[in-house]
Structure 1
């Protein structure tokens, strides 16, 4: 494969409009950049570019350091150094990010990724400073964001089955529960900071779906911020708005029926799984997820 063909494949991959692909690419680009600096440092011990870059991108637990480098709360979730760390994070992001996208639309992927990472980072900061003293520990990795998306999928469709190597088919609710339990029991021997952030991401993913099912979308402000079409639609709705003569008159919006139907289908998926939907219901759900 020549360079031109590779670039064409990348451009085609990105033009599909799949935010999961963009997140994968940025994580990989940052990883390759950091590893390049690490290799340079190996052959040139006096070079501090790798150490400096790592310090800038990581999330620092010490309050004083965090206040100087607050952007670490965002950049840490795009930063990896270990090859297996990024491999498994990106593999899970690809699987569960696309699964989430197929049910709740592309526009929610980046907002939920960021909210999950922030939730994991905030819990990490709180635990270290409240219970573990003021040592300056650092954290990197997309694990909290990926865990958030995974648990969101499991909460939305708990009985949805996926196939795992050596284990066969397993329902999402049991997979999510197993990962949470394994994280908790491995605290004494494992990566404490990473496990704490996993729990923060998992909690955000669970409550995000529960709150969404009650009619409130926590991702809505970020969707408006990142999506130009959403902002344009909002402006059009404001331009078309005309106050009614009677302020007491209740007008039923067309979207109310769609929301009711969506809630009913999500309940059906929760109880019986996605495969219980009819072809017509699947088509309607697919159409709504693309519109959202």
Structure 2
């Protein structure tokens, strides 16, 4: 199926977090809404309610204890088409800015941490603030939507580049700091409205976005544990390893298929005299951006060096 192949292609590419996040949200939206129609038409509506409770977040701490994944899974769940459309458009706009200046991993860090921070703010608000506790006395509202993660990206971009200007339809050029300020202000004044849980999550995501970029500007990357986790997961599915020593440390990376007929450029690369400075530069690039960021020639040079 071509659609499935296109979906796989998005995830084969490295440094492609923005497209991957959008595709995941869209895929979950399509699957959940199709299941909703099917289960309702078949008279199994209560089953769909159970499914919602399985992936959306409850303000009840005991629910989170038995379903800890909902602290993240709620952030990729949308049921309304306008809800997902607006979130994905904003994520695309501001995610491109973060990707351009900080890279794919930092965008992923902002989004995931923003979702988690939003969920925690929602949980704290509905358990410690009297106004929200009164709201939860009846049917506790379940939390869903990517807005907390999206707002973390929006505020993060504004903190990183406050004077950066984008052109909005009907409004003209506006600086990022003003766009982020409007978003946060709207969430503050609507926090006592019908969507108070969602607005609490927005504020949690915004706070995280601000803190993450400010810490990054001071040389502290709060996303390192998350990046490490993703690297470990990636290693589980990586190709066979070879090792090269660099500056008294060794690094692992996937091997390339160099058997069979080589192209002229590959022969030229193989026959070059490779010095240690070139290898050090390549390994520094792996350390900063990952093995997949190397060019074909750099991979070949590294493979040739490993055989010496």
Q: The TM-score by the shorter chain falls in which range?
A: 0.7 to 0.9
The answer to whether the 8 A contact 2:75-2:145 is kept is yes
Distance in 2 between the 1:116 and 1:173 partners? 18
| 2:143 maps to which of 139, 145, 159 | 139
Counterpart for residue 282 of structure 1? none
Quote how far apart the aligned CAs of 1:108 are. Answer: 1.6
Q: Report SS of the residue matched to 2:32.
A: helix
Q: Report SS of the residue matched to 1:163.
A: strand
| 2:185 maps to which of 181, 187, 209 | 181
Counterpart for residue 163 of structure 1? 167
Counterpart for residue 89 of structure 1? 87
Q: Report SS of the residue matched to 2:78.
A: coil
The answer to whether the 8 A contact 1:144-1:201 is kept is yes
Taking a change above 3 Å as real, the CA distance of residues 9 and 229 of structure 1, as seen in their structure-2 partners, is closer
Report the RMSD for the aligned CA atoms in angstroms: 2.7
Taking a change above 3 Å as real, the CA distance of residues 124 and 94 of structure 1, as seen in their structure-2 partners, is same
Distance in 2 between the 1:208 and 1:145 partners? 12
Quote how far apart the aligned CAs of 1:70 are. Answer: 1.7
Counterpart for residue 74 of structure 1? 72
The answer to whether the 8 A contact 1:73-1:118 is kept is yes
Q: Report SS of the residue matched to 2:173.
A: strand
Counterpart for residue 281 of structure 1? none
Counterpart for residue 240 of structure 1? 249
Distance in 2 between the 1:68 and 1:238 partners? 47
The answer to whether the 8 A contact 1:37-1:50 is kept is yes
* Residue 172 of structure 2 corresponds to residue 172 of structure 1: no
Distance in 1 between the 2:82 and 2:24 partners? 17
| 2:117 maps to which of 115, 119, 135 | 119
Distance in 2 between the 1:228 and 1:237 partners? 21
Quote how far apart the aligned CAs of 1:139 are. Answer: 0.3
Distance in 2 between the 1:237 and 1:129 partners? 52
Taking a change above 3 Å as real, the CA distance of residues 181 and 7 of structure 1, as seen in their structure-2 partners, is same
Quote how far apart the aligned CAs of 1:154 are. Answer: 0.1
Counterpart for residue 109 of structure 1? 107
| 1:39 maps to which of 32, 37, 40 | 37
TM-score, with structure 2 as normaliser: 0.71
Q: Report SS of the residue matched to 1:92.
A: helix
Distance in 2 between the 1:238 and 1:84 partners? 53
Total equivalences in the alignment: 241
| 1:219 maps to which of 208, 218, 223 | 223
Distance in 2 between the 1:110 and 1:68 partners? 26
Distance in 2 between the 1:31 and 1:112 partners? 21
Counterpart for residue 270 of structure 1? none
Distance in 1 between the 2:155 and 2:215 partners? 14
Counterpart for residue 152 of structure 2? 148
Q: Which moved more, 1:149-158 or 1:180-189?
A: 180-189
Counterpart for residue 195 of structure 1? 199
Which consecutive unaligned segments of at least 5 residues does structure 1 have?
242-287
Quote how far apart the aligned CAs of 1:14 are. Answer: 4.1
Distance in 2 between the 1:167 and 1:147 partners? 20
Q: Which moved more, 1:42-51 or 1:214-223?
A: 42-51
Quote how far apart the aligned CAs of 1:96 are. Answer: 1.0
Q: Report SS of the residue matched to 2:51.
A: helix
Quote how far apart the aligned CAs of 1:114 are. Answer: 0.9
TM-score, with structure 1 as normaliser: 0.75
Quote how far apart the aligned CAs of 1:230 are. Answer: 9.9
Distance in 2 between the 1:36 and 1:148 partners? 29
